[in-house]
Amino acid sequence: MTYLASFFTAPAASSGLTIRILGTLVFTAIAIFALSQAPTRSRRPIVATVTFFAGLFYVLFYLWPQPYDRKPNEIPLNSVEAVGFWLKDAQPVVSTFGNIIAGSMLGLGIFSLLSVHLRKFVKKQRDWQFSGILLLSMVAMAVIGYWNWIQKIAPGSPDLENVANWGFPQYANDFLFDGMLQQMDAAMFSIIAFYILSAAYRAFRIRSIEATILLSAALIMMLSLMGAVEYQTSELIRNISGNDPNGFINNFTLKEIATWMRTNLQNPSLRAVDFGVGIGALAMGLRLWLSLERGGVSA
Amino acid sequence: MNLLRLGKILQGVPRQALYTMLIVVASVPLFFRVEVPNSPDQPAIDLFVTLNTIPAERPVLVESDWTLSSRGESMGQMEALLRIMMRRNVKFVLYSGADPQAPQVARNVIRRINAERKRAGQPEYKKWVDWVDAGYYPDLAGLANAMATDIRRAFAGRQDTNERGSMQDIFRSPVLQNVKSISDVALLVNVHASGTIDILNERLYRRVPLASMCTGVMGPQSMPYYASGQLVGISVGLKGVYDLEQMMEYGVVGKSIRERPHPKTIVSSNHDEIVIQPFTGQKNYDRAARYYFSLHFAMTLMIVAIIAGNIGMILTRKPKRKGGQ
């Protein structure tokens, strides 16, 4: 495993790392091209085999006996322990593979975005102006972002966490990222508040027993989120009980009722949902791992 | 005006009027910073006590999984977390596992809190010396598994700018140089707006104490982990941030302690002997103090709108005919 790890790793900023990255890119491009050219019938077994072995690692990782209190340079006692050692040593490497594959999905996304919007823009299809703005924004963000990043990692560069050391790339990056992208993100999300209010006003009606129970529960939870209301009701109850900390009526403060609902109604319900989701995910995971799912490969 | 007409009016408030009212009630209170009477929730008290009692010589892992889409809650959580850690000189590692934008958003908050410290005449929290940036990991599940197995290999190859301005492995920094395994980390705090705490709990529970600072939407999903003891503390939504700011202002004592640092000091029912002094004279009330006041008005508007709609429905309801005809 040490050999495997050293084959796949190299010191940062070394030529070995550059060669490995370029080699991996070329190998991946050839593999994807070969897979896309392969007949549909032969594609399925290839994908199924790769999926099975990729999944097998984590199945074994979780189910195989794990080495306990392992010392450095410890030699395994038997073959079972040897596999356990290997799985534990291999896991960080596999995790890095996972990160790289997940990261490369970003490249796939960029490719897909470019192919759709470049075509739309060049052929002046409907709403081509929006595609143009999207492409321009993407290029501007990428160029400014890389410019800023290269300056940041350059040897002997000033501390760019300090705004006093900022130049054009840093200000431009801050304007594009924090000043525009993030603010638009926040604005988009804040629109939900309007829909929630409008939907609550129009749909939250006590038309049945169930709706009344739901509305009452929602009202208690909403009021419990308002600290001032919660505090005042607690004070009121405390005064009624004559400041007796053991008074039975203390169980009926808004805080106590809301906590009781969270602990005794909400948490068990969510646990039940989680169990259901977990079992469903396990079943789905098995189907994907064993390639019993029909879609996605032959297309 | 007869009741039927009133009922129709109450049910037929135009959408534009509702939106305008929401804009007014949500934005006007933002101009006022008001200390709303409040009683902090126990999960937030537990989080605050944990943050104030972890050993300062061991680093904290801060997994920042939020962007400005949840700034109303998550930004306040992040700011409160940073203020507490920086005041206690707790070193931390920043990384993200949910969104590629998240690390930069968190860096911006750190920069702003540092500027605040500088204005207050406090030493800046220096990158590399006091905190390091481990960046973004697209496969959080794999990273969490690797952290459980070997934290040095999980973060292997990650570099950050050292004091001399050159890139160096983060394990050479004063923050991580003594960390050999995940058990050397004092706490992992997840500031999140999605279900990342599930992934962390499944893989890291019992290996490192876990804490959650989540949005109100994620609160119900994260709360069962606190109830089962899998989280040492949790701060949920804007109320959670306000709870933290209030505790920073007045401190926390255990239930056996009679002498309190301040008349408004919060009493923790889960602790006996602890005394956590308030951060007197420092900026404690900030974002949540402004937003929480506004939230009260927005919630009131929603409750009033729901009640009005229901009254309208009752008033316009046709009386049932006798005999079911």
Which of A188, A227, A229 faces B292 most closely, judged by CB atoms? A227
What values do phi and psi take at B234, rounded to 5?
A: -150, 135
pLDDT surpassing 50 at residue B183: yes
A92 and chain B in contact, CB less than 8 A = yes
Q: For B147, which residue in chain A has the nearest alpha carbon?
A: A92
Res A68: pLDDT: 78
- The per-residue pLDDT of chain B, averaged, comes to 93
More confident residue, A68 or B181: B181
- pLDDT confidence band for A242 (50 / 70 / 90): confident
List B residues 157-196 in contact with A (Cβ-Cβ < 8 A).
157, 159, 161, 164-167, 169
Least confident of A151-160, A180-189, B186-195: A151-160
Task: Tell me which of A151, A212, A250, A262 to substitute to probe the interface with B (most B C-beta atoms closer than 10 Å).
Answer: A262
Instruction: Tell me how many domains chain B contains.
Output: 2
Same structural domain, B22 and B127 = no
Res A32: pLDDT: 83
Chain B residues with CB under 8 Å of A227 CB are: 36-39, 239, 242, 292, 296
Chain A residues with CB under 8 Å of B218 CB are: none
Which of A94, A182, A274 faces B68 most closely, judged by CB atoms? A182
More confident residue, B4 or B1: B4
Dihedral sign (CA A240, A242, A243, A248): negative
What values do phi and psi take at A292, rounded to 5?
A: -85, -15
- The whole-number average pLDDT for the span A30-50 is 86
Q: What is the pLDDT of residues A144-153, one digit of tens each?
A: 999 998 888 8
pLDDT surpassing 80 at residue B318: no
pLDDT surpassing 90 at residue A4: no
- Work out the minimum CA distance from A298 to partner chain B, whole angstroms: 26
More confident residue, A245 or A130: A130
Same structural domain, B230 and B122 = yes
Res A162: pLDDT: 80
- The whole-number average pLDDT for the span A219-235 is 91
Chain A residues with CB under 8 Å of B296 CB are: 226-229
Predicted model pTM: 0.90
- pLDDT confidence band for B101 (50 / 70 / 90): very high
- The per-residue pLDDT of chain A, averaged, comes to 88
Query: Is B141 in contact with B204 (CB distance < 8 Å)?
Result: no
Query: Is B109 in contact with A182 (CB distance < 8 Å)?
Result: no
Query: Is B154 in contact with A95 (CB distance < 8 Å)?
Result: yes
With CB atoms and an 8 Å threshold, state whether A227 touches B36: yes
Same structural domain, B164 and B311 = no
pLDDT surpassing 50 at residue A76: yes
Asked, for residue B53, whether it belongs to a domain, the answer is yes
- The whole-number average pLDDT for the span B274-284 is 94
The interface pTM score, or ipTM, of the predicted complex is 0.84
CB atoms within 10 A of CB A54: 14
- pLDDT confidence band for B22 (50 / 70 / 90): very high
pLDDT surpassing 70 at residue A236: yes
Same structural domain, B14 and B146 = no
Asked, for residue B266, whether it belongs to a domain, the answer is no
Same structural domain, B313 and B171 = no
pLDDT surpassing 50 at residue B261: yes
Query: Is B102 in contact with B65 (CB distance < 8 Å)?
Result: yes
Residue B200, amino acid? L
- pLDDT confidence band for A102 (50 / 70 / 90): confident
Range of the domain at B129: 36-251
Same structural domain, B17 and B152 = no
Distance, in Å, from the CA atom of B28 to the CA atom of B119, rounded to the nearest integer, reads: 28
State percent of chain B over pLDDT 70: 98
B14 and chain A in contact, CB less than 8 A = no
- pLDDT confidence band for B82 (50 / 70 / 90): very high
Same structural domain, B77 and B137 = yes
A137 and chain B in contact, CB less than 8 A = no
Asked, for residue B219, whether it belongs to a domain, the answer is yes
Same structural domain, B53 and B155 = yes
List A residues 94-123 in contact with B (Cβ-Cβ < 8 A).
94-96, 98-99, 101-103, 105-106
- Work out the minimum CA distance from A168 to partner chain B, whole angstroms: 17
Asked, for residue B273, whether it belongs to a domain, the answer is no
- The whole-number average pLDDT for the span B190-219 is 96
The per-type count for chain A, helices as H runs and strands as E runs, is: 11, 0
- pLDDT confidence band for B325 (50 / 70 / 90): very low
State percent of chain A over pLDDT 90: 55
Distance, in Å, from the CA atom of A169 to the CA atom of A152, rounded to the nearest integer, reads: 10
The number of C-beta contacts closer than 8 angstroms across A and B is 180
- pLDDT confidence band for A299 (50 / 70 / 90): very low
Q: Which of B296, B38, B270 is nearest to A235 (CA)?
A: B38
Convert chain B into a string of H (helix), E (strand) and C (coil).
Answer: CCHHHHHHHHHCCCHHHHHHHHHHHHHHHHHCCCCCCCCCCHHHHHHHHHHHHCCCCCCEEEEEECCHHHHHHHHHHHHHHHHHHHHCCCCEEEEECCCCCHHHHHHHHHHHHHHHHHHCCCCCCCECCCEEEEEECCCHHHHHHHHHHCHHHHCCCCEEECCCCCEEEHHHCCCCCCCCCHHHCCEEEEEECCCHHHHHHHHHCCCCCEEEEECCCCHHHHHHHHHCCCCCEEEEHHHHHHHHHHHHHHCEEECCCCCCCCCCCEEECCCCCCEECCCCCCCCCCHHHHHHHHHHHHHHHHHHHHHHHHHHHHHHCCCCCHHHC
| Tally of CA atoms within 13 A in the half-sphere of A115 that contains its CB | 6
Dihedral sign (CA B79, B81, B86, B91): negative
CATH code of the domain covering residue B167: 3.40.50
Distance, in Å, from the CA atom of A98 to the CA atom of A82, rounded to the nearest integer, reads: 24
